[in-house]
Amino acid sequence: MLLDSPLAIVDLETTGAHPVHDRVTEVAVIEVEGGEVRDEWSTLVNPECAIPGAIQALTGITNDMVAGAPTFARLAAGLHERLAGRVLVAHNARFDYGFLRQEFARAGLEFRAKTLCTVKLSRRLYPEHARHNLDSVIARHGLECRARHRALGDADAVWQFLRLAAAQRGEEALAVAARQVAKQPSLPAHLDPAMVEAIPEAPGVYLLYGEGGTPLYVGKSIDMRARVLSHFADDLRSPRGMQLAREVRRVEWQRTAGELGALLREAELVKSLLPVFNRQLRRPAELCGFAFDAQRLRLVHDFDAEGIAHVYGLFRTRHAALGALRGLADAHGLCLQSLGFDTARKGACFRHQIGRCAGLCAGKESVHAHHARLAAALAALKTAAWPWRGPVGVVEEDARREATEVHVVNRWCYVGTARAEDEVAPLLEAARRPRFDLDQYRILTRHLRSKRARVMELACTAS
């Protein structure tokens, strides 16, 4: 039964909502064993930064109150020991667990725990109610809260809710609901749990291998560990997903500073390893687009990084390119026969007869008018111009500020990632001969158009 398990009912007060940038100001732990409270503990924490006025008003914890309190680093070892081996129970457990992970990491300690979120538990046990925040739970069940928005008062309210839920719904129903909420994945017997346990809750790519080292799948996530575990979730329903879970024998991972690095590395690994279960990002059979010059439209293939500046549209296959052209022709009344992309016949083309061609083939408009409309239609497909003189470095910092990566890019081509200054020069040499990749082009154009992109010009000589 759930209440027989060793529990740590936890509540934190913080300077804000973001565990990376904000800090803990108060922590409380109620230790439960055999359904009984073994110990209650709480303390104010010096966040080593100012508490915003709105937070002071909400919690009643002021800068003066925490000035003489211990820092989290001083408390870390004792708190880590207090939480060890217990299920961490909290209302919105993701919030509290995320803050604890970050604070312990700053103190040089790794912290992992099974968690139980009582917000989700309340939704599961009392689905007839719309609201499940702590204020609503307290009011609905008539709980007593000795001090709302203070750590120990809120933790005690959560403990009261657990006991009341067990009494109202039964301990067995409570335990079943807790398991359903937790959705703890059960790893296949043939996969070493230590291999998965070692995966950090950080951005990066992960590689799943089968028997004999066969690459099965390459994935990316801003939380690799959670994403890998999701492959083995009990509620997995996709036949393809279940087959992948059965075949996995080994897991490897590569950490990146952030999401951009993970996206670029995933695209690179999929094309080099060709994993069995990756359908997207596979090496395209052919890359093609349209060129419109000298009043002539033609389909072009095998263009290099410099050539894409003169191409309209980038397509994985000829079939996809022609499909896009037909869509433009329908929308703008273009004559595919006159352009050489439809069966030649005397007089008006079939598309004109059914009202899809404005009639260049029937002499109803001039070539200049038709081609002006064609140029306007193609403008929407124009590839992005490279706005820098040469290669650039796209800077990405680790969310925990532990590392910085510089992704070297030239003419929309990803060259590689430097994690130290001496790694930049070899990448600049390689940037002289960049290799174009459609998936990386799309990743980079999307990122570099965003306001969060940090770019520095590296050199002009490689352009």
SS3 7: strand
Q: Quick check: is 368 catalytic?
A: no
Residue 32 DSSP label: E
Residue 359 DSSP label: S
Residue 382 DSSP label: B
Q: Hunting for tokens 């006159």 — which residue is that? A: 338
Q: Hunting for tokens 């154009």 — which residue is that? A: 445
Helices (H), 107-170: 118-125, 134-141, 151-169
Give me the phi and psi of 204, to 5 degrees please: 160, -170
CA distance 301 to 287: 6
Given a contact cutoff of 8 angstroms between Cβ atoms, the answer to whether 147 and 122 are in contact is no
Catalytic residue among 91, 132, 149, 231: 149
Count the Cβ atoms, other than its own, within 10 Å of residue 81.
Answer: 9
Beta bridge partners of residue 26, listed in sequence order: 13, 44
Given a contact cutoff of 8 angstroms between Cβ atoms, the answer to whether 377 and 328 are in contact is yes
Pairing of strands 7-14, 454-457: unpaired
CA–CA distances in Å: residue 263 to residues 223, 377, 385, 446: 13, 31, 22, 12
CA–CA distances in Å: residue 321 to residues 178, 298, 318, 340, 381: 52, 11, 5, 14, 11
Edge-to-edge strands, sheet with 392-397: 413-418, 404-410, 392-397, 454-457
SS3 205: strand
DSSP one-letter string for 293-338: ETTEEEEEES--TTGGGG-EEEESSHHHHHHHHHHHHHHHT--TTT
State the catalytic residues: 149
